[in-house]
Structure 1
Amino acid sequence: MDKVQYQTVPNQEIGLIDANYRTFAFQRHYHLDFHIGLITQGEQKFHYQGSSYHAGTGQIVLMPPDEMHDGQSKLDSGYQVKVFSLDPHWLSDLADLKRSSDMVGFNQLVINDAFLFNTLVELHQNLANPSLSQLAQDCLPYEGFARLFEQYGAKEQKSVVPLGNQSVATLKEYLMANLDQPVKLEQLSSLCQLSPTQFQRHFKAKVGLTPYAWLSRLRLEHGMKLLKSGVCGTDVAHQIGFYDQAHFSKAFKATYGVSPSQVG
């Protein structure tokens, strides 16, 4: 049976996931946050940038934000994983990047490093401890991620994916400002100075999803952030463009494996 626990910590830039997946499979999707997954049991398989990968017990998966991927168990017995969900801006500050055009990158997607794995598992467990002091909550991530940055980190330039006379990043900013509004294809194509047909074709080629599927994921990802910050499910549904709580709950559970009320 699939079991997923999403937990918030005082630092809202950090989210914790503790999951046991057996039958649940993630369809092609992306995250707004950086995800660091620690496979504690079993084996996961996934596709990323046209290649197939798998990660087993004791391995670490580093998934950057805005990158398309899927995920499911490789074994019938499933897999267990602890995940850090980290705000990209916070992670860049933690890595002490000097320029806003820089971002954190890593030279490996799957890492096999027992010492680092055990360090991060301990950090995950400590941050999930409600009795941990505020100062410890603030300081432990710096210590826990230090080896990750030192051994595997890399500074990268933020990539610009063009879309007509705009970029995918500009389009995302526009949609984030209008998540509660009904968005029309004509609006998006005009923003990029493309015809609706051109926009759909170019968008699918650049991003790997239809505009509708991409917007749906964007809404749910932002909805997850709002839930973690303490906003109630009904308000979240309205803020991200769902005008019916039931439809929001159904879409959320299909995407994340839990209902909105289980986040927190």
Structure 2
Amino acid sequence: MRKEVRTIVYDETLKLEAYRFEGIVQPFPNHFHEYYVIGFVENGERQLSCKGKEYTISNGSIILFNPNDNHACSQHDDGTLDYRGLNISKATMLNLIEEITGKHKLFGFSKSVIVDEEVCCYLKSLHEMIMNGETDFEKKEQLLLMMSTLFQKYEQPFDEGIPECRQEIEKACKFMDDNFSDRIYLDQICKYSGLSKSTLLRAFTREKGVTPYRYLETVRINEAKKMLEKGVSPIETAMLTGFSDQSHFTNYFTRFIGIAPSIYRDIFAQKDEEE
């Protein structure tokens, strides 16, 4: 079996993360991100689930995830996965949209999986530039060309619609967002939201695509990323984000992000040393 290689680079100029996985067999559980994800498969075949739909992705497939799109994937065969991707925060995306369209409003992607030779060409070229530390002008130009094409072909309003029990579900989310560092029980969430356990679990999972517990896990991991980026140690991050111990935290972080928290922290420590 090929050796797994996982590389992540934060581009300070573009304000986004570029990452590359080579020889990966690790499955990723159902989860979501606070940011946009744009990526493509270089080699391998995977089964992807996104927002209740199933896809088989392989060489040339491009994935487009909006913030909060729940998704999971696992290897489809006995092979491995080679994958490149970009993580783009909502703030960075909002600036890109305004630069390209003049509108100060977030867009979403209308499709989760596409095959588009033009987009793939831009994406591969941009990813290589970021990984190789190419000049800022060329990278920014390539990013704007790629995003202009994506907006033109796959834009949709960034609107999640009005779900059943929306207010109660949002109250449940707010409770977990505000108290993620504490030990949280289902009874507490139900009391705060005003829903019974069965109603909460059904309505929450239907609307968010993940269970309340998986939502809480994802909130904790997203907060952990922010702390690690600021140089907080993994052990302190584990304590501040509500994990029982560092081992528990490391296992979850690696499952969701694909690399260990110490490695993720070192990426940003190296960036600070270079500045």
TM-score range, shorter-chain basis? 0.7 to 0.9
Structure with the bigger percentage of helix: 2
For residue 9 of structure 1, what is the aligned residue in structure 2? 11
Q: 2:118 aligns with which of 96, 103, 115?
A: 115
Secondary structure of 2:132's aligned partner: coil
- Offset at residue 164 of structure 1 (A): 6.2
Q: Is the aligned partner of 1:53 residue 2:60?
A: no
Partner of 1:239: 240
1:189 match: 190
Deviation at 1:189, TM superposition (A): 1.5
Contact 1:163–1:192 (8 Å) recurs in 2:
no
Separation (CA, whole Å) in 1 of partners of 2:28 and 2:254: 12
Partner of 2:228: 227
Counterpart pick for 2:132 among 129, 132, 151: 129
Change (3 A) 1:158 1:11: farther
Superposition deviation, residue 250 in structure 1: 2.1
Is 1:151 aligned to 2:156, yes or no? no
Q: Which runs of 4+ in 1 moved over 6 A?
A: 97-100
Per-residue CA deviation, residues 38-88 of structure 1 (Å, 9 max, x unaligned), is 111222321223332122222311122212221123232222110111112
Give the aligned partner of residue 89 of structure 2. Answer: 87
Which residue, out of 97, 104, 123, partners 2:107?
104
The structure 1 residue matched to 2:35, chosen from 17, 33, 48, is 33
Q: What one-letter code is carried by the residue in structure 1 that aligns with 2:115? A: N
2:155 & 2:51 partners in 1: Cα distance? 20
Q: Hey, what's the Cα distance between the residues in 2 that align with 1:29 and 1:36?
A: 16
Residue 16 of structure 1 and its aligned partner are, at CA, apart by: 1.5
Q: Contact between 1:82 and 1:124, CA under 8 Å: does it hold in 2?
A: yes
The answer to whether the 8 A contact 1:47-1:53 is kept is yes
CA RMSD of superposed structures (Å)? 2.8
TM-score scaled to structure 2, two decimals? 0.81
How far did 1:158 drift?
Answer: 4.0
Residue 98 of structure 1 and its aligned partner are, at CA, apart by 7.5
TM-score, normalised to structure 1's length? 0.84
How far residue 108 of structure 1 moved from its aligned partner, in angstroms, is 2.8
Deviation at 1:205, TM superposition (A): 3.9
For residues 204-215 of structure 1, the aligned pairs below 5 Å read: 204-215=205-216
| CA distance 1:197–1:157, change in 2 (3 Å) | closer
Instruction: Report the Cα distance in structure 1 between the residues aligned to 2:185 and 2:204, rounded to whole angstroms.
Output: 15
CA pair 145-207 structure 1, distance change in 2 beyond 3 A? closer
Aligned residues: 261
Partner residue of 2:273?
none
Work out the CA distance in 2 between the residues paired with 1:6 and 1:49: 26
Q: How far, CA to CA, are the matches of 2:140 and 2:173 in structure 1?
A: 30
Query: Residues of 2 paired with 1:90 and 1:161: CA distance?
Result: 28
SS of the residue 1:77 aligns to: coil
Contact preservation (8 Å) 2:34, 2:222: yes
